[in-house]
Amino acid sequence: MTVCALVAAFNEEMTIAAVVDGVRRHTPDVVVVDDGSSDQTGERAAAAGATVLRHAQNRGKGAAIRTGLAHVLSGPHTHVLFIDGDLQHDPGDVLKLLSAGEQAGCDVVIGERLFVKGSMPVSRFYSNRVGSWILSQFIGLEVSDSQSGFRLIRSDCLRPLRLTAIGYEIETEMLIKLVRRQASLCRVSIPARYDGARSRLRPFRDTFRTCMLAMWYRYVSSR
């Protein structure tokens, strides 16, 4: 198993170096897509050892992921590790996903956060719980953290996908299209962290938008 990590980042200069450094302790190849940042995100990622691709303007997480995938999937890596650049995921948990992918042989490994009411913002708790239940119906499998951006996916499963999402719905689009292609899925429990940079996700608005788009991906969009 050869792995390349992919990070979509926008104005993450305070956290991106720690993410890149933490991930590189487990897999040396890291690609950061600087999605039109106005700060030093790209420079700090490069200094930490990442290959940096840049968008001249902010285009959204989905667009950044697609740019990164076009680069990574042209190479020899067997798997792509997705992780956010704001330290919402602990880079130390990378090993859990790699171990699950290697030992269980799953096509997709999702790092599912443990949502505990009272230990996280109320809006995030309910939007994640309700959103994941709704999205599971479209995905076709029960997934308790459908919007987790912490994943390990086999490259051969990603290459045939026609991804179109430009925003946070990219996570749902990938899952729906992977499951439609019979990709096997494993889950790994990870703690939910809220001590990193503040998330830009708008809990109810973005969850509602993702649920609406999920219907398109499930019933209309091509594979």
pLDDT in tens, 166-186: 988 888 888 888 988 999 999
pLDDT band at 160 (very low <50, low <70, confident <90, very high): very high
pLDDT computed for residue 166 by the predictor:
92
57 pLDDT higher than 80 = yes
- CATH of the domain spanning 3-219: 3.90.550.10
pTM of the model: 0.81
pLDDT band at 97 (very low <50, low <70, confident <90, very high): very high
pLDDT computed for residue 169 by the predictor:
85
Give 169 or 34, the one with higher predicted confidence: 34
pLDDT computed for residue 88 by the predictor:
87
The single residue listed with the structure tokens 């689009």 is 173
The edge-to-edge listing of strands for the beta sheet with 151-154 is 51-55, 29-35, 3-9, 79-82, 151-154, 108-114, 185-191
- Which residues have CB under 8 Å from 135's CB, separation 6+? 143, 146, 147, 172, 175, 210, 211, 214
pLDDT computed for residue 180 by the predictor:
85
High-pLDDT (> 70) share of the chain, %: 71
pLDDT computed for residue 148 by the predictor:
82
CA distances from 139 to 61, 81, 163, 164 (A): 20, 20, 15, 17
What is residue 119's DSSP assignment?
Answer: S
Domain segments of the chain as ranges: 3-219
As to burial, measured by CB atoms within 10 angstroms (0-12 exposed, 13-18 middle, 19+ buried), residue 57 is exposed
